[in-house]
Structures are given as C-alpha cells and as structure tokens.
Structure 1
C-alpha cells in the first residue's frame, strides 16, 4: 500500500527547479500545504505541475496566500499547471490576485475545471491577465464558461505579452463570433501567434467569418485551430447553392459532400493566410536584427564623433560626403532600405534602440581563466534564441505590422 510520502513526493526524474505532483491525490488545503512544504524546501522553483488533483477553491486560496507572501515571492515560478483541479470561481479569483502582482509567470494551464461565466469574476481575471507577463493561457474544456465568458473576456483583453490562447471545447456558439472577430481584427490588442477554438459549436458561417478576418486584418496569427465546430449549420443552404461545376453550372451534391467541400475551401484560404503571416514574421524578425546591426555602427559612431557644443563655424562640406555627415533624417531613411517589411513604427523603435548606448550588451569577461565558461555560453543556442524572442516582443517586431490608414 502506498504511503502518504510516496503519494505526494515529486517524481524521481523531475528537475530540482520543477515540482511534479501530477495526479498525486492532492486535496484541498491539505494538498496545498504539501505543495508549499515542497516549495519551501528548495532554493528555486521554476515549474509547478499540479494537474489532475482536487485542490479546489480552498487549495487555490492557500497557495495564493503563500505565493503572495514575502517568502513566496522569492520563487520566480514561470509555469503552473492546474488542469483538472475542481477549481471554481472563488479559486479563479484567488488565481487573479496572485497573477496581478506577479511578473514571472509565463504559462498558466487551467483546463477542465469548474469555472462559470460570472461577469465580476471574469472581469477581475482579465484585468489580472492584462497586468501580467503571461505568454500562454489555456482555458480549454471549461464548458460552463461558454459565451458568457467570451462576452466579458475578449472585449477587455489587452495583454501585450500573451502569445497563445486556448479556448477549445468551451461550448462556444455563434454568439461568441462577434467578440472573436473584433479581437483578432484589432492589431493594438491581439498579439497572439496561436489561437485554439476547436471542439466548439461555432458553425460554418462563424468559422468562415473568423477565417476571413484573419485573411484580411490579422498578420500575427500563425496557428489557428477551428476543427470540430459543427459545420452543419444554417449556412448549409448557401453552401449548396454556391457550389458550381467547372462549366459554371450548378452541381447536385449531397449534404456531406457540400460541407466537406466548403470546409476544404475555407481551410485552404486560411492556410494561405497563416503561411503568409509566418513568412512575414520571419522577414520582420530577420530584417529587424539586420537593421539593428547596421544602425548600431552608423548611429552610435555618429554620436561619438559629434560635439555637444559647436564653438567654431561649421567647416565647409567636403566634396566626398560620407553617410555620417548627412542629416539624421536622411540617415534613417537610408537605413530603412535594409528592412522593407518593417512598418514606420517598427523602424522607429529599432533605430531608437540602436541609437542608445544604454542598450549595448554587457562585455564578455576576460578570456583568461574563463575559457570553459565562454565556450558554454557560445554553445547555449537556446538561451540566445530566448533572448532574441524577448527582444522581438519588446520592440513589437515579432509579426508584420501593417501601416495604419
């Protein structure tokens, strides 16, 4: 028979920065206190895997109290898994209180809990998300949330760091479509790269509208899941009447064939839009880095050779004019040719960043005695990728930004 210690102990292959208590029979306050004991026994904790337990509202409240305390704030937890934990609105409120004051959490997974679409609770939650550094938020399989959640959450959502939002199997109907459309069509609020809305009941017409909005107005999304949304909807008659054969005549097709054909046409158009967004994203990222390199050389050099006070009349302009002697506006215009896919705002942000000596990276330590450390740093490509991703997000150069009319 398993002892309590075995039930609650983290898995032996877990890293020291990860507490893995997946399906560990954690229950309410007692379970939360066990999690707190494990956290307190470590110098650092990066991830909490607490999925498939029964912490409930009471357990969330106890965890929130600890994590918001002076001791709890010492732990920079970047990922919390609370999937399937019987958490209701009171627990979601406690999570909101922790989230609003935390700057470390990047991933929050809360699939299959007991939330409902209570407007005050949802408003408190979306306000916390907006003031956090969350990058991935999963609320899938919370069927009780439904349209009431989307009606409050999406119009108020404005989280610059949020890159993934999972709203699958949440019992969303066509009533949610206008709120989804307004959100994804607003580049000032929607910075998502991934949106998952599969397993709902949006219907074919809503799915078509969402795909069309992405094609025409959204350049950030590179992944959009809309599978299994009960496409057999009231738009079927329009689908049947709009299908033609190659000679321009109506073709008699059965219901299943018409729906399959309509879905394939929508999916093809969506794939083209998402492929476009992916290609533009890579172009923007590549060009912004290239612009940064050359702008550093040109603009920082210009700042160093310029004198803050000109005591003598300016010398006559030589016949062979160098780039650094041109007016700064012309220098910026010349630099813009290095990044044709960047918007005016992106150009200004990258050039402004490159022009400041305060943004220069720290110098490497002296090579003497640090050879192994330098080699390890050079080989750590994952860290460098993460630093670049943070830089792209900070300067809003992680996706194509169309010029506003």
Structure 2
C-alpha cells in the first residue's frame, strides 16, 4: 500500500503565540490590570502586550507594572508594549520608568493619547530610564497634557544610543519647542532616523528651522514628517510664508537632505562591512609565519609596513567612514576574541528561526535545521531560501546581528567630520 503523503502543518504565526491583546476590551483600573496579569501568567512566554483604548488609568497601570517588575513578570521578555489611550498620567509614567530602567528587551513603547503633564522631575525620571534601556521606538503623540513642556524637557534630556524613532504628532506643539528640537537633532546625543511631528502648530518658520538643522547638522535622519504645521505659527510670519510656493520650497529642501542622509547611510554600512573583511586579513595575523611562505623576491606584503601605513591604506576601502568609525573597526578586527565561533553542528543560535509554514514536516528541517550550503555561499545572507521569516524582521537572526554590530561600531549612520 502506498503510504499517504505527510500533511504539512497549518501556517501558524510565531508572534501570535506570544502576543497578549486586550485592545478596546473595556479594561478598567486595577481589576482590568489583574485580568491582563492572569492572562500573562497563563502563557509560557509573552513578548508583545497590546492594551490600547482601555481605561486602566494610573491605578491599573501601577498594578500592571508592579507585576512586570517582579521576578515572575521579568520572566516574560516583552519587546513591545502598547498603552495607547488609557487615561494615563504622571504616576503611570513613573511606574513605566521603573520597568524600563536598564531594560534590554523592550524595543517599542506606545504611549500616545494619554495625559502626561510634562513635569520636569517626572520627565527626568522617565528619560533617565529611556537612556539606560535599549528602546528603539517611543510614541507620545496626541498627549492631552502640556505638549510643549513635555517635549521640551524630553528633547533636552534624551541621550539614548538606541532610540531611533520618536513620534510627537498632534501634541499641540507650538514654536516654543523649536529650539529644543533643533538643539537635540543637531547634537551627537541624537541617533534618530525617524521623527514624526505632524498636526502641530509649529508654523512654516518653525518647520524651516528644523529643516535647516537637518541640512547643516544631522546625518542620521532619513524620515521626517512635518505635515499640517503651516498655520498658526509665529506672529512675525508674513503672508508670503503661507503661500504654496513657500511650502513647496521647504518640502523640497527637506527631501533633498533626507535623500542625502539615506545615501550616506547606505555607503557607510556597506563600507563598514567591506573594511571589516579586509582589516581581518591584515590585522588579525598569527604570531608565527610559516617559513615556506616567506619569499624574498616577492613584493613587500602590507604586513611588513609600519602599522600607521597599514591603517592608512585600509582607510581607502571605506572613505565614507569617519576616522573614529574606522578605528573602532580596526580594533574589532584585530581582536581574536571577536571571531565568530566555529561549530560543526548547526544549533539554534546559528542562522535564523524558520518559518513554521515553510519548513519540511519531516526530517531535520522540521526541528529548526537549515541548509549549511546556504550559510557558506559567498555573498549569501545565511538565511535558507524560503525558510527565514524575512530579512529585517525579528525572526531574521543574521540580519539582527549585522544591525547590532553596526550600532556597536557606530556605523549605522554617516558620521560627519568637520
């Protein structure tokens, strides 16, 4: 009898198994928070928490984050928390800060449409926690409190090495915040690649000042949204400032600056990887050279040159990189401890997490195996074809490792040298 073909497993999203969602479920105060806590405790691992459009308020938020800060709560390595429109105030922000401090897992924090007052001591505590964390996305749009005060304090204190996306749209911002925004994005403290500030009252002159700061001082931003900011600006704005032609000119200037930054970013990341490959070969040498390979009549190898000349020659491989960026890569390349581990057996730490919808139902691939040939092919990303959850996604481990290395080397964006 011919055996029946194996039935492929149904497509199941890995993320859905670890996602707790109570969006618009009528959760209220402490009772609502306890409902969320009970659900979290019933799961082996939770990485995403969606609680938007409820009424947890301060009491419920404090209850929830008291649990998340406990040893039991810390077992769940949350990467995203959504608390949009939950009537949260300053006490909630302090509770969130306690959880966020030195947190290495949380990447996205959605807090828009709440009511934070912007009190300096509260914002200082929150920003200190952000700076110590690995947070990448922070949204504070549509804040019902004093947006000018909140954003001004925020911009003055931010110094996060990982925060790349901040959203402050619809926060009733006026030209009061412009100097604070300009100062932040013009300083080395800013590593932002995205800022969204749509639907405020910055005025065309305020927008111009931000655009000018990007043009002259910022090389990391690749997306800046400043729509619906043309009206209700400074009283000194003339009628000419509000013409379609004036708005068009400002928009064109911004687009040119952002395209410049995007091009420089790509050249920087490409140059960083190229420099690493060549610097490894030159700087990471064995202590003893085999006599058979020494030939007196051959051209002088680069390794015989003074170190200063070796580094100078290598620098031409990545001319877009700054001196500081190149030195970081040279130090990394010359350190044997930074070499990747060699393993004859593929493990869960190698390659990427396979897509359960595409793995074979039988054989090694069903248990997370991967194609070793694909990993060793020159120029291949290391992801087995059709098995990876996608380049750039959380499931593409190799892509995540490349991004992490670029950030550690400070090569995730162009670094301007005077």
Q: How far does the alpha carbon of each residue in 1:29-65 deviate from its partner, in whole angstroms, 9 at most, with x for none?
A: 1111111111111221111011111111111111111
Structure 1 unaligned segments of length 5 or more: list them.
1-11, 241-257, 308-314
5 Å-filtered alignment, 1:6-405, equals 15-186=16-187, 188-231=188-231, 233=233, 234-237=235-238, 239=240, 259-300=243-284, 302-305=285-288, 320-366=299-345, 373-375=369-371, 378-379=383-384, 380=388, 381=391, 382-403=396-417, 405=418
Q: How far did 1:388 drift?
A: 1.2
Distance 1:319 1:172 in 2: 68
Higher relative contact order (CA 8 A, sep 6+): 2
Q: TM-score, normalised by structure 2?
A: 0.83
Distance 2:333 2:136 in 1: 26
Number of matched residues? 367
Q: How far does the alpha carbon of each residue in 1:45-95 deviate from its partner, in whole angstroms, 9 at most, with x for none?
A: 111011111111111111111111111111111100010111111111111
Change (3 A) 1:134 1:320: same
CA contact (8 A) 1:232 1:259 kept: no
Change (3 A) 1:306 1:344: farther
CA contact (8 A) 1:18 1:48 kept: yes
Partner of residue 3, structure 1? none
Helix, strand or coil at the partner of 1:86? coil
CA contact (8 A) 2:346 2:369 kept: no
CA contact (8 A) 2:58 2:89 kept: yes
Which region of structure 1 is more displaced relative to structure 2, 149-158 or 374-383? 374-383
Distance 2:55 2:278 in 1: 55
Q: How far does the alpha carbon of each residue in 1:266-317 deviate from its partner, in whole angstroms, 9 at most, with x for none?
A: 00011000000000000000110111111112211x244379xxxxxxx998
Moved over 3 A (4+): 230-236, 303-307, 315-319, 364-372
Distance 2:305 2:14 in 1: 61
Distance 2:66 2:400 in 1: 31
Helix, strand or coil at the partner of 1:165? strand
Alpha-carbon RMSD across the aligned residues, in angstroms, is 2.4
CA contact (8 A) 1:14 1:20 kept: no
Distance 1:306 1:72 in 2: 54
Distance 2:316 2:280 in 1: 15
CA contact (8 A) 1:84 1:112 kept: yes
Helix, strand or coil at the partner of 1:26? coil
Change (3 A) 1:317 1:143: farther
Partner of residue 4, structure 2? none
Q: TM-score, normalised by structure 1?
A: 0.85
Which region of structure 1 is more displaced relative to structure 2, 357-366 or 133-142? 357-366
